[in-house]
Amino acid sequence: MLILGYAGHQRHGWKSGHKLQSRLRHSQSHPLIFDSITSFGEDVEDLPLNLFPLDGVGHDSAAAVLRDGQLTAAAAEERFNRFKHSTAAGGKILPPRRSVEFCLSQNGAGIEDVDHLAFYCDFNDAALAQRIQAVEPYLSSKIKDRVISGYRAVYNGTVSNESILAEIDELFGERKQKPTIHFVPHHLSHAASAFYSSGYPEAGIFTIDGFGEKSSSIFAIGTAGGIELVEETMLPGSLGVLYMMMTAFLGFRPLDGEYKVMGLASYGNPKTYRKEIDGLLETAADGSCRTTVLLRDDFGEHVKSLFGPPRGYAEAVTQREMDIAAALQAGLEEAVFCRLEQLKKNHDVDRICLSGGVALNVVMTGKLARSGMFKQTYVFPASGDDGASVGAAQYVYHHVLKRPPLHKAVASMSLGPAYDNERVLEALQTNAEKLNFHRADHIEEVVADALIEGKVVGWFRGRMEFGPRALGNRSILADPRSADMREIVNQRVKLREEFRPFAPAALAEIADEYFDMDGVGRSNFMEFVVPARAAGREKVKAVVHFDGSARIQTVERHINGSFWKVIAAFGSRTGIPVVLNTSFNVRGEPIVCTPEDAIRCFLSTNIDLLALEDYIVSKKAGRVLAEDMAKPNLED
């Protein structure tokens, strides 16, 4: 049986005057991002983010395939079309056309072979009515008609199940035998991805993001019999949207900048603005949290009255932004923990599974895993909307079709395309005037030696990872021993803010010697931040954050043997089996997918060496775009 999971939908943008302009596109180019997405100006026709616009869904298009219950392929559309979040010019959302094609071809199948198609949302008339009923009491007369008419317009024209059926026909054309189509509620898609990927026989399931059809969070119980929805946080309660709005206020782009805010929080004092952040939250006795402040028609002005003017996108980050980020992060953690404590008390669960975009906040999930609140904590590695494609398919297979759970955790997220040496050689020969390259027998040993020499290495091997993180298949690697290397990779290669940390990739069997893995055990998908031990703080300074923490990746030989060999070879030479691992891309671009992507990124950055499957690649003289990188002092 073949089930195709499907996330994202097509959207062509909205017309505003003489140009196409959508909320997401406008927010990316506006000098004061916060103003642009909270204003009611003539140049933005659709609703700003703080009003939970229905056109805010559809980003992060992706596809996944289950064959007889096994997850065999998954990929985000952005990796193929090279537009982050699959959002193109004019706010056009690109559907998962190429990711569907890949997932089917990986299974030797075509659309004719698909038995069931699972879509990650269920926008029906009842859901729309519930959304309107939930938010209407909090809308002022000034904006009520605009918000409700906006919901209805987008529903009728874009996101309704009828519109999605028409899109499916457009994407896949005429088919002699059409698959059975299932519309899975958004948060149940997230819930299924977490529970059915965890391998737990039973568990509580907590999902939390910006919003789905009508809610921002659910709690469910997963058992062999399926998933039972227990509690739901309806709009206007949304910690995800509040965090997104404050991300924009701090001068970072929504959907991308939340990671930056999380990292920036370590530099701030959470007490400075905690009263102001708490004023944006309304926590009830049952631990639930409402954010009705988001529906104020003067929300932008209100936030400015609390914190001052928003930071411009290109302006320097000051202590004020650090302190706001710290208070925001602390408020998020406290609200989530309060909710989970109450849910645990009410429903007596000792395992928890997490998904939804907020579950990608690895500082929060690390503290939760280490808190002892639950005996086991599982976070689905692709917790964003792209991962809902997996969950939609799993929900149909296990819950709708009643096929028993596998009770086996998804061991690897290497679910994307791979490219053989023949394809790699073809790409290299196309760029022969710019590159030197040769095939290496023991490429892991060569890369380890290069790292010790202080070189930054692009590492491209095997199937591309699914989810937001590079886990040793599409990575940039460096020597973690000197703090200087963090600055080198941030400023000279990744072209990103200096306050952002890098992840240590450590052999699973020794990780606890350098990082405190208590309560976590394994972190194969970088899903937890943990404290560094003294050995970590002293010996791998480039991968320990300002506050002494690290977003740890544990690497197991039976899951990713080649990457494990690189770290082991580095360890055998230095005594430290840890490397710096960051995603193979630069700021503003998706992680590389193809050999051509890798070569293009290599040539446009100060990466010293490229390991491309079995080939070692360097730049010909004169092809380096910046001066040679300063080599770190390994004794520092």
pLDDT in tens, 259-309: 999 999 999 999 999 999 999 998 887 778 889 999 999 999 999 999 999
For residues 23-32, average pLDDT: 54
Look up residue 544 and give its amino acid.
Answer: V
> Which residues are CB-neighbours of 187 under 8 A, at least 6 positions away?
207, 209, 212, 215, 217, 218, 232, 356
Look up residue 472 and give its amino acid.
Answer: G
What integer pLDDT is reported at residue 233 of this predicted model?
95
Three-state secondary-structure class, residue 53: coil
Four-residue CA torsion sign, 202, 206, 207, 211 = positive
Residue 632, preceding bond cis, omega within 30 degrees?
no
Average pLDDT, the chain: 91
Q: Angle at CA 10, nearest 5°, toward 9 and 11? A: 120
What angle do helix axes 421-430 and 595-603 make, rounded to 10 degrees?
40
Task: Identify whether the C-beta of residue 599 lies closer than 8 Å to the C-beta of residue 431.
Answer: yes
CATH 3.90.870.20 fits 421-619, yes or no: yes
Query: Tens digits of per-residue pLDDT, 455-512?
Result: 999 999 999 999 999 999 999 999 999 999 998 998 878 877 888 889 999 999 999 9
Residue with tokens 């989970």: 340
Task: Identify whether the C-beta of residue 566 lies closer than 8 Å to the C-beta of residue 477.
Answer: yes
Closest CA to 230 of 222, 219, 241: 219
| Cα dist from 429 to 166, 225, 426, 439, 600, whole Å | 43, 55, 5, 13, 13
For residues 547-554, average pLDDT: 97
Three-state secondary-structure class, residue 117: strand
Cβ-based neighbour number of residue 280 at 10 Å? 21
Task: Name the residue ranges covered by the structural domains of the chain.
Answer: 2-197, 233-380, 421-619
CA dist., res. 536 & res. 214, Å (int)? 44
CA dist., res. 364 & res. 15, Å (int)? 39
What integer pLDDT is reported at residue 312 of this predicted model?
86
For residues 531-541, average pLDDT: 98
Look up residue 33 and give its amino acid.
Answer: I
> Which residues are CB-neighbours of 137 under 8 A, at least 6 positions away?
none
Q: Angle at CA 274, nearest 5°, toward 271 and 278? A: 160
pTM above 0.85, yes or no: yes
What integer pLDDT is reported at residue 174 of this predicted model?
63
**Position with higher pLDDT, 595 vs 27:** 595
For residues 21-47, average pLDDT: 55
For residues 11-37, average pLDDT: 51
What integer pLDDT is reported at residue 38 of this predicted model?
64
For residues 49-70, average pLDDT: 91
pLDDT band for position 630 (cuts 50, 70, 90):
very low
CA dist., res. 619 & res. 630, Å (int)? 17
Q: Is the model's pLDDT at 418 over the cut of 70?
A: yes
Cβ-based neighbour number of residue 631 at 10 Å? 14
For residues 96-110, average pLDDT: 96
For β-strands 351-355 and 578-583, DSSP reports them as unpaired
CA dist., res. 400 & res. 383, Å (int)? 22
pLDDT band for position 582 (cuts 50, 70, 90):
very high
Out of 12-21, 29-38, 222-231, pick the least confident. Answer: 12-21
pLDDT band for position 145 (cuts 50, 70, 90):
very high
Q: Which residues pair with 282 in a beta bridge?
A: 290
3-state secondary structure 177-204: CCCEEEECCHHHHHHHHHHHHHCCCCEE
Q: Is the model's pLDDT at 12 over the cut of 70?
A: no
HSE-up (13 A, CA, CB side) for residue 397: 28
> Which residues are CB-neighbours of 38 under 8 A, at least 6 positions away?
48, 49, 50, 245, 248, 299, 300, 303
Out of 91-95, 381-385, 534-538, 551-555, pick the least confident. Answer: 91-95
Q: Give the CATH architecture of domain 233-380.
A: 2-Layer Sandwich (3.30)
Out of 2-11, 256-265, 371-380, pick the least confident. Answer: 2-11
Three-state secondary-structure class, residue 578: strand
Query: Tens digits of per-residue pLDDT, 390-406?
Result: 999 999 999 999 999 88
Q: Is the model's pLDDT at 90 over the cut of 60?
A: no
